[in-house]
């Protein structure tokens, strides 16, 4: 399989080149040259397959030409060491719980898969001794990537995050690890962090001295595995007898998660349509309304992982739909919600249905309330454990949220981070000094 750049100004790349490079030389995002439609028999039998079996078939469609089957099977098995269950919340609305991994966030799937795939490609290439993974985070990406790559030979990870704009638990998950993980605390926004990462990839001097790649959803090996749990969710809904007319609502920030779902749909997954749920950072919603994409500085909200003013994966959505606004808004609708609406939703659902939402899942739930029709089955993505947002959630429910043991262990660690301005030259000098 070859991969092309969304900017169309770079040579096609092999899977190894796309994964190790992260971003294309023309600053575009890599896309597979083709997307395989899985056979009808796969969907007919999907409810009788395990999560691992489903994911291996999907992974083979994307990566089977480039990685031996037994190795790909092992990568998938090692990635999916936890479940992603579908849980009924109320009549017609179901939660896809993606917080049962080691860092209690959906990004554990993509980050663990990418870490293992990157480790495999490094081991196969004798000319590469070390790769530096750069990752910008608005919250959960940093912890998932840091923990997924922790201790992997030949890989150094640098996590950039906006000072004061992630929760305490999120911050502790990537600033207390040590070993091959370094946290850089940027005096700015997530968009500043993302800009620093993208600028590093196209800086000639940096790339002469370092092998750089990214573990954000701009990396194809981080993005595509996130489609696994959409297929697994459909299988669970089918077992429940409610898999007709499925509408999926995705809390959306950098739009990697919903893009993975759109890939799954392109492969034949029977999803009727998607809803993109935004917080006040509603750039995509404005695009759906006007056909004009206008990035803006991000705004801090209680759903901080969605505080993105220029979502990278918008470029991939454009590619999937041939840049057609009409086709995009035909498959995806959108809503945005204020902090007050999010907090009220957490309190209301906890009281009425005894289900505890995190701020991002609350956006997903609200999106279904706004956009679901009576004959449809609604599935929203509960992307992180509510305990990762203790202050917000406990205030909303006026009660205590139990903290899982995995998160408690992180909170006991000692934070270490490198303070940094948002100036690229300062970040560049820092990276070169590590060489």
Residue 15 scores a pLDDT above 90: yes
Residue 140 scores a pLDDT above 80: no
Active site (catalytic) residues: 107
Enumerate the domain spans of the chain. 83-103+224-403
What's the whole-number mean pLDDT along residues 139-164? 88
b/e 74-90 (16+ beta carbons within 10 angstroms → b): ebbeebbeeebbbeebe
Q: Indicate the pairing of strand 86-90 with strand 93-97.
A: antiparallel
Q: What residues pair up with 95 in beta bridges, in sequence order? A: 87, 380
Q: Which of 107, 103, 108, 111 is nearest to 174 (CA)?
A: 103
What's the whole-number mean pLDDT along residues 360-373? 97
- Neighbouring residues of 182: CB distance < 8 A, sequence distance ≥ 6: 156, 157, 158, 159, 418
pLDDT at residue 276, rounded to an integer: 98
Integer Cα distance of 218 and 224 in angstroms = 10
Residue 326 banded pLDDT, cuts 50, 70, 90: very high
What's the whole-number mean pLDDT along residues 400-419? 90
Q: Name the helix (H) or strand (E) containing 183.
A: strand 181-186
Estimate the crossing angle of helix 107-124 against helix 140-149, to 10 degrees.
40
What's the whole-number mean pLDDT along residues 354-382? 97
Per-residue pLDDT tens for 229-241? 999 999 999 999 9
pLDDT at residue 412, rounded to an integer: 85
Residue 73 banded pLDDT, cuts 50, 70, 90: very high
Integer Cα distance of 278 and 167 in angstroms = 19
Measure Cα distances from 379 to 88, 259, 273 in Å. Answer: 9, 16, 11
Integer Cα distance of 22 and 41 in angstroms = 34
Strand positions, DSSP E, 344-431: 377-382, 418-420
pLDDT at residue 261, rounded to an integer: 98
pLDDT at residue 141, rounded to an integer: 80
Measure Cα distances from 303 to 214, 281, 299, 401 in Å. Answer: 23, 10, 10, 17
Give the count of beta carbons closer than 10 Å to the beta carbon of residue 402.
11
Residue 47 tokens read as 């409810």
List % helix, strand, coil for the chain (3-state, nearest 5). Answer: 50, 15, 35
- Neighbouring residues of 290: CB distance < 8 A, sequence distance ≥ 6: none
Q: Which of 306, 309, 224 is nearest to 266 (CA)?
A: 224
Q: In the predicted model, what is the mean pLDDT of the chain?
A: 93
Residue bearing the bigger pLDDT, 152 or 51: 51
pLDDT at residue 124, rounded to an integer: 83
Burial label for 229, CB within 10 Å (0-12, 13-18, 19+), is buried
Residue 262 banded pLDDT, cuts 50, 70, 90: very high
Which of 31-45, 209-223, 273-287, 301-315 bottoms out in mean pLDDT, i.e. has the lowest? Answer: 209-223
pLDDT at residue 144, rounded to an integer: 87
What's the whole-number mean pLDDT along residues 286-301? 94
> Is 261 strand, coil or helix?
helix
Residue 126 banded pLDDT, cuts 50, 70, 90: low
| CATH annotation of 83-103+224-403 | 3.40.50.1100
Per-residue pLDDT tens for 182-217? 999 999 998 899 899 989 988 999 989 998 888 878
Residue 411 scores a pLDDT above 90: no
Long-range (24+ apart) CB contacts under 8 A made by 205-209 are 205/428, 205/432, 206/428, 206/431, 206/432, 209/432, 209/435
Global pTM value: 0.90
What's the whole-number mean pLDDT along residues 95-109? 94
Residue 314 banded pLDDT, cuts 50, 70, 90: very high
Residue 158 banded pLDDT, cuts 50, 70, 90: very high
pLDDT at residue 33, rounded to an integer: 96
pLDDT at residue 127, rounded to an integer: 65
């Amino acid at each position: 399989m070859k991969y092309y750049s969304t900017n169309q100004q770079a040579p096609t790349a092999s899977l190894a080149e796309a994964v190790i490079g992260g971003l294309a030389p023309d600053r575009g995002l890599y896309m597979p040259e083709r997307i395989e439609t899985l056979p009808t028999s796969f969907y007919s039998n999907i409810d009788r397959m395990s999560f691992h079996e489903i994911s291996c078939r999907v992974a083979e469609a994307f990566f089977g030409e480039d990685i031996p089957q037994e190795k790909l099977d092992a990568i998938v098995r090692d990635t999916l060491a936890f479940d992603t269950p579908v849980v009924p919340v109320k009549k017609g609305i179901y939660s896809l719980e993606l917080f049962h991994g080691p860092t209690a966030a959906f990004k554990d799937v993509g980050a663990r898969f990418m870490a293992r795939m990157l480790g495999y490609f490094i081991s196969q290439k004798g000319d590469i001794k070390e790769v530096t993974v750069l990752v910008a985070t608005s919250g959960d990406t940093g912890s998932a990537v840091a923990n997924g790559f922790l201790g992997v030979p030949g890989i150094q990870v640098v996590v950039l995050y906006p000072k004061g704009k992630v929760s305490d638990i999120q911050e502790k998950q990537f600033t207390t690890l040590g070993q091959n993980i370094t946290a850089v605390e940027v005096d700015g926004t997530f968009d500043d962090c993302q800009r620093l990462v993208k600028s590093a990839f196209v800086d000639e001097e940096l790339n002469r001295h370092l092998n750089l790649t990214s573990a954000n959803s701009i990396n194809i090996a981080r993005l595509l595995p996130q489609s696994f749990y959409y297929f697994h969710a459909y299988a669970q809904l089918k077992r429940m007898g409610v898999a007709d007319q499925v509408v999926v609502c995705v809390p959306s920030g950098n739009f990697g998660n919903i893009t993975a779902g759109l890939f799954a749909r392109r492969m034949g997954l029977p999803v009727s349509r998607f809803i993109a749920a935004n917080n006040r950072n509603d750039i995509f919603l404005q695009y759906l309304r006007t056909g004009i994409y206008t990035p803006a500085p991000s705004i801090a909200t209680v759903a901080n992982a969605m505080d993105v003013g220029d979502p990278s994966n918008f470029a991939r959505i454009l590619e999937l739909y041939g840049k057609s606004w009409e086709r995009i808004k035909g498959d995806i609708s959108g809503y945005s919600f204020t902090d007050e609406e999010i907090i009220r939703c957490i309190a209301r659902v906890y009281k009425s249905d005894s289900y505890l939402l995190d701020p991002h899942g609350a956006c997903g739930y609200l999106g279904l309330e706004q956009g679901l029709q009576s004959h449809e089955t609604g599935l929203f993505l509960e992307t992180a454990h509510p305990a990762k947002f203790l202050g917000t959630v406990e205030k909303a429910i006026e009660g205590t949220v139990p903290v899982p043991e995995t998160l408690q262990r992180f909170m006991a660690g000692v934070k270490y981070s490198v303070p940094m301005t948002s100036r690229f030259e300062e970040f560049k000098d820092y990276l070169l000094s590590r060489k």
